[in-house]
Amino acid sequence: MSWQTILAIGSGGFIGAISRAYLNGLINRNLPHDLPFGTLGVNIIGSLILGVLFALFTYTQFFSTPLKSFLSTGIMGALTTYSTFALETFWLLNQGSFLLGGLNIFLNVFCTVFAAGSGFKLFEYLLK
């Protein structure tokens, strides 16, 4: 891996992590919840954007390897968060909230896969 790609990933990670903290807080402040909607929201948004990016990467030649890494591994990798989803789900289950824990698992898995696929397919259609 080149130093340009490493720098691109680190720079993107900085932007993605700050974006995640901001969006997570914004969502949690504006949605009364028992479920961790902030994490769900950033995971869905990030999955949709990553699907769009990969369609663009697949059907265009505009992106260099460092730029692809900056956008996907850097920004989107830091924006989305599997580990926080896992820990929040554990907390729900550990508190005996099996319905909410199961719902959190379902929503994170289903919605993020649906968002990623929708973003990819939409832009695949637009770019063909």
Domain limits at 34?
3-127
For residues 43 and 85, the answer to whether their CB atoms sit within 8 Å is yes
CA atoms within 13 A on the CB side of 64: 8
**Domain count within the chain:** 1
Q: With contact defined as beta carbons under 8 Å apart, do 70 and 9 qualify?
A: yes
Instruction: State which H helix or E strand residue 79 sits in.
Output: helix 77-79
pTM of the model: 0.92
Q: How is residue 32 written in tokens?
A: 């009364």
pLDDT attached to residue 33: 83
Predicted confidence at residue 11, as pLDDT, reads 98
* Per-residue pLDDT tens digits for 8-58: 999 999 999 999 999 999 999 999 788 999 999 999 999 999 999 999 999
Tell me the Cα Rg of the chain: 16
Q: Tell me how far apart the alpha carbons of residues 103 and 120 are, in angstroms, rounded to a whole number.
A: 25
